[in-house]
Amino acid sequence: MNIKNKDTYRQFQDPEVTIPLFHQAWWLDTVVGKNHWDTAVSYTKDGKIRAVWPYVLGSKWTISTMINPILTPYLGPYIIYPQNQEKKISRYNFEHKVMYDLVHQLPNAKMQNIKCHPDLDNVMPLILKGYWHHAKYTYRIINDDKESVYQNLKASVRTDIKKAKSKYTLDKSINTKILYRLNQKTFERKSKTVPFSQELIDKIVAVSEDKNCCKQYTLYQNDQALCSTLILNDYKTSYCLLIGLDKDSKPQGAIQWILWEAIKDSITEGRTFDFEGTMIPEVEPVFRAFGGQLTNYSVLTKTNRILGAAFRLLKGHPI
């Protein structure tokens, strides 16, 4: 563990630079613990941070791993670009330099699978350093006026919102037990176990509330909670971290209304709304209907030779 890098990163404050939420020290402290993550840091000649790569080491089947921790959709490198860097060649050269610097500091985990933030749009330097790359997608609603976003919704979504408003009530108070219970129902429908605990959700919400960066939206019919979502905010993006639904109650339009309320708040606060979870087949059409911008993000994979061959066979790629 590089204590100097980690301490410097914790203390990093610059009014002109804000790190994405899932890269921040407090987030990693919360989801994995203060002593269970580290970061590579690239410095300028005068000792200022110009790029970071927070990471979490683990193991699976006795194999060392470096993957995104639970409930952390994005991680990987984050670059702080110099001001007035107008030429593309200057930007590309800078990206190569800082990414090479970061990679050389990373531990040699035998299995790496990193989902990167959508803001990272050039992973060529990492491909040249032996990473495999493929794209995943999310839908994002870029900050715009509410009326134009509303008109861009699929007609059926607008209809569902109107129907839901006539039948349900909306509550914006925090209730992690309801949030967790509805997520349990969502996983139970798929015959799966919830991969996170009530305790972890409580910790995330407690810290996020203290930092004024989370909101919960819950729909009720009488006293029965039908749908609930947890939204986390950083300086420019609102992330739909969790959403749970009591599908047995057949709440028509519940997801559509609850997400529309969250989207409206993100627009009011000047943030982009990130749906996340867009690659899940039964979820993607629901999110697509909101008319957001399809946005790719990079997934970086790196393994040793034997694991790499097995991985490519499993993925259907030639060795």
Q: Are 23 and 117 in contact (CB under 8 A)?
A: yes
Burial 48-72 (b: 16+ CB within 10 A, else e): ebbbbbbbbbeeeeeeebbbbbebb
Structure tokens at 117: 């933030």
CATH architecture designation of domain 143-291: 3-Layer(aba) Sandwich (3.40)
Distance, CA of 78 to CA of 84 (rounded, Å): 18
Residues 6+ positions from 225 with CB-CB distance below 8 Å:
175, 178, 181, 182, 218, 219, 246
Burial 157-178 (b: 16+ CB within 10 A, else e): bbebbeebeeebeeeeebebeb
Residues 6+ positions from 260 with CB-CB distance below 8 Å:
150, 153, 157, 161, 290
DSSP-assigned beta bridge partners for residue 238:
233, 273
51, 148, 55, 149: which is closest to 101 by C-alpha? Answer: 51
Mean pLDDT per block of 10 residues along the chain (319 residues) reads 80 76 96 96 93 94 94 97 91 97 96 96 97 96 90 96 97 98 92 95 98 97 96 96 90 96 96 88 93 96 70 48
Task: Specify the pLDDT at position 247.
Answer: 85
- How big is the chain, counted in residues? 319
Distance, CA of 19 to CA of 234 (rounded, Å): 8
Task: Specify the pLDDT at position 318.
Answer: 44
Q: 3-137+297-314 and 143-291 share one CATH topology?
A: yes
Distance, CA of 224 to CA of 193 (rounded, Å): 23
Task: Specify the pLDDT at position 36.
Answer: 95
Task: Specify the pLDDT at position 278.
Answer: 74
Structure tokens at 270: 């000047």
Q: In what order do the strands lie in the sheet with 38-43?
A: 38-43, 49-55, 78-79
Assign 40 to helix, strand or coil.
Answer: strand
CATH architecture designation of domain 3-137+297-314: 3-Layer(aba) Sandwich (3.40)
Distance, CA of 315 to CA of 90 (rounded, Å): 36
Task: Specify the pLDDT at position 86.
Answer: 87
User: What is the residue extent of each domain of the chain?
Assistant: 3-137+297-314, 143-291
To which H or E segment does residue 54 belong?
strand 49-55
Burial of 11 (0-12, 13-18, 19+ CB in 10 A): exposed
Rg (CA), the chain: 21
Distance, CA of 77 to CA of 305 (rounded, Å): 24
Task: Specify the pLDDT at position 304.
Answer: 73
